[in-house]
A = this chain, B = another copy of it.
Amino acid sequence: MGVVVPISEAPRGNGITALTELCAPGMKRVNELILSKAGSDVEMIPEVARHLISSGGKRLRPMLTLAAAQMCGYEGDGDIKLATSVEFMHTATLLHDDVVDESDRRRSKPTARMIWGNQASVLVGDFLLGQAFKMMVEVGSMDALDVLSTAASIIAEGEVMQLAAAKNLATTEDEYLWVINAKTAALFSAASEVGPIIANGKHEERTALKSFGTNLGLAFQLVDDVLDYSGDAKDLGKNVGDDFREGKITLPVLLAYRRGTEEEREFWKDSLEGGNNDDAQLEKARALMAKYGALSDTITRARHFGAIAHDALGPFKQSPVKNALLDVVDFCVSRVN
């Protein structure tokens, strides 16, 4: 793996810590709301929801909403509900994804579908999505509803596209970027954009934060793709090789495939499209990625989007929350090392 150069020379570099600290009071309320809104007399719902919610994600998305609102001077409490909606949308996607991908484990724990079954996972996901929309309606901003419901439909569209494009090594990089825009960046973008919306921010604050979220999301997902093949992913709860074993076509694969010889391309077809994906095959995949610089070039691509996210915040005045958001960009790009 190449050395990761920080995107900016600014004296920041606190990773995600500064954002976590700045958002701590708000996130305490978000977490309370999560637990209360995941409650139901149907006993299985809170059980399933809590299983996933307690599994210890970074809660990056709701923090983006809180931070974006704060950066635009918001002082009400609608951001708490919107942030919770964003996290519910994310949780619903994970529940549904695990069913679609037939995943056994997530963050080193059994997936909900392994404990409660596929039907429960699908339906609890739907329930959380419903709760998310109810909270958005309570907040009463038609613009925020528009942005978040558009994101929800893009996410679903992306899942269908990924299903259709699955195991297709002929996927172009542009098509793949579209998929990860839908899968990841759309929600990062919406989470960031609803901040200025609820804060009644200027139009350019909205577009800037929307662009920030989109590009942060793209960078985040590309680095995630790299982590799945690099040795350092264990402490992030991902097992190295998960994407490979599931036959997922990600950018490191696409680059290695496109740069490879005819014979190497047969290897990729055999392993990813054909399902011949044991540990020896995984090692060969990693060797081919090293040969063609596929992981380091994926990081270079991620850095491009990180740089755009960084510049997107240019017009905002210096502030602790702005610095914390810039730190998150660096964190996302540099969590591989």
| A contact set with B: CB distance below 8 Å | 170-175, 203-204, 207-208, 210-211, 214-215, 254-255, 257-260, 265, 297, 300-301, 304, 307-308, 311-312, 314-315
Contacts and interface: CB of A to CB of B under 8 A. Distances in A.
Q: For the complex formed by this chain, how many copies does it contain in all? A: 2
Contact of A207 (B175, B301, B304): B175
Nearest to A259: B314
B311 A258 contact: yes
A156 B29 CA distance: 48
Contacts of A170: 203-204, 207-208, 315
Given A170-B315, A173-B311, A301-B308, 19 more contacts: A170-B203, A170-B204, A170-B207, A171-B207, A172-B210, A172-B211, A173-B308, A174-B210, A174-B214, A174-B215, A175-B207, A175-B211, A257-B315, A258-B311, A258-B312, A258-B315, A259-B311, A300-B304, A301-B307
Contacts of A203: 170
Q: Give chain A's interface secondary structure class.
A: helix
The 3 closest A-B pairs by CB, nearest first: A258-B314, A170-B204, A172-B211
Contacts of A312: 172-173, 258
Contacts of A171: 207
19 contacts: A170-B315, A171-B207, A172-B207, A172-B210, A172-B312, A173-B312, A174-B210, A174-B211, A175-B207, A175-B211, A254-B311, A255-B311, A257-B314, A258-B311, A258-B312, A258-B315, A301-B304, A301-B308, A304-B304
